């Protein structure tokens, strides 16, 4: 970059972030995903290469269809890797893990089960002792404001309330890694803001390692410690930005000039990513 501000602003540097190797929890090494279809190969993720430290909250930004969700699915062991490797705590990932938590855009609650039973569902499927986790389920529901609704069915809840249940379900097994794929994108603006603030507050308490896929630049910056920017498909990680905001984080950080400056910078990086992908396809 030739921006004269680059030397004055510490965060204004799209070079890859290198955490302390001793603290690395998750490593992606030249990770690539190609789908084979009747009409030919589709390269969903061209190259993903990064290290994520234990306890980091990392947002993944990029244009629609760039492979963000595919990347998340590979990290979660739900999709195979075409090339490259993914390591968790130094061991090569070979499939889904019991110590991961998953939260998706659709809360996917079981309609015939109560709120409490939906939260405890992963515990039952993993054949863990439910009675040992039930106090934590009650505590999580109280924390997200659903203590009075534990006996309700999903149809009796609003969209935001259903997503709160999904958040509790993702945390119930005390996961080392929480994977979130646009969990709030279907909510109205007010509910989405409420969920962002709730997640920040939960993060202060639980402090998990997390990957959070989103299309919202402001959401990515407000929630995360780092933001990865991916190009249009076939995607590459073209910016890896460590954010300067500490924790606990207050909603008023979004009103600061620095917050808005960072959002503008990331918007430019996404637009530049479109251009790089287009140029690569024409080459």
pLDDT of 1 higher than 80: no
CB atoms inside a 10 Å sphere around CB 203: 20
> Please, which pLDDT band fits residue 47 given cuts at 50, 70 and 90?
confident
Q: Which architecture characterizes domain 4-99+177-282 according to CATH? A: 3-Layer(aba) Sandwich (3.40)
Task: Provide mean pLDDT across the span 240-249.
Answer: 90
Q: Let me know: does 106 contact 183? Beta carbons within 8 Å.
A: no
Task: Provide mean pLDDT across the span 134-146.
Answer: 94
> Residue 15's pLDDT is what?
47
Local structure of 37: helix, strand or coil = strand
Q: Let me know: does 24 contact 53? Beta carbons within 8 Å.
A: yes
Q: How far apart are CA 131 and CA 162, in angstroms?
A: 23
> CA angle 261-263-264, nearest 5°?
65
Span 11-35, pLDDT tens digits: 554 444 555 555 889 999 999 999 8
Q: What is the DSSP string of 52-103?
A: EETT-EEEEE--TTSSHHHHHHHHTTSS--SEEEEEETTEEP-S--TTEEEE
Annotated domain spans of the chain: 4-99+177-282, 107-174
Q: How far apart are CA 92 and CA 68, in angstroms?
A: 21
């Amino acid at each position: 970059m030739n921006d004269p501000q680059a030397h004055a602003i510490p965060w204004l540097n799209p070079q890859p972030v290198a955490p302390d190797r001793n603290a690395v929890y998750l490593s992606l090494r030249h990770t690539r995903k190609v789908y084979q279809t009747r009409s030919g190969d589709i390269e969903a993720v061209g190259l993903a290469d990064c290290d994520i430290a234990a306890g980091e909250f990392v947002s993944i930004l990029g244009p629609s269809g760039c492979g963000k969700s595919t990347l998340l699915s590979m990290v979660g062991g739900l999709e195979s890797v075409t090339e490259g490797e993914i390591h968790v705590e130094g061991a090569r990932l070979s499939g889904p893990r019991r110590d991961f938590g998953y939260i998706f855009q659709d809360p996917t609650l079981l309609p015939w089960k109560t709120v409490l039973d939906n939260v405890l569902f992963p515990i039952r499927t993993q054949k863990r002792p439910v009675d040992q986790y039930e106090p934590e389920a009650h505590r999580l529901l109280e924390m997200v404001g659903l203590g009075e609704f534990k006996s309700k069915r999903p149809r009796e809840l609003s969209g935001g309330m259903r997503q709160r249940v999904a958040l509790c379900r993702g945390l119930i097994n005390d996961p080392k890694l929480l994977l979130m794929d646009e969990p709030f994108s279907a909510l109205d603006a007010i509910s989405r803001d409420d969920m962002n603030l709730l997640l920040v507050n939960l993060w202060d308490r639980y402090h998990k390692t997390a990957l959070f896929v989103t299309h919202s630049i402001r959401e990515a910056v407000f929630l995360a410690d780092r933001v990865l920017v991916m190009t249009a498909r076939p995607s590459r990680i073209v910016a890896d930005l460590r954010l300067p905001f500490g924790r606990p984080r207050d909603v008023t950080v979004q009103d600061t000039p620095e917050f808005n400056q960072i959002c503008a910078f990331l918007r430019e990086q996404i637009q530049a990513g479109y251009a790089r992908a287009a140029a690569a396809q024409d080459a």
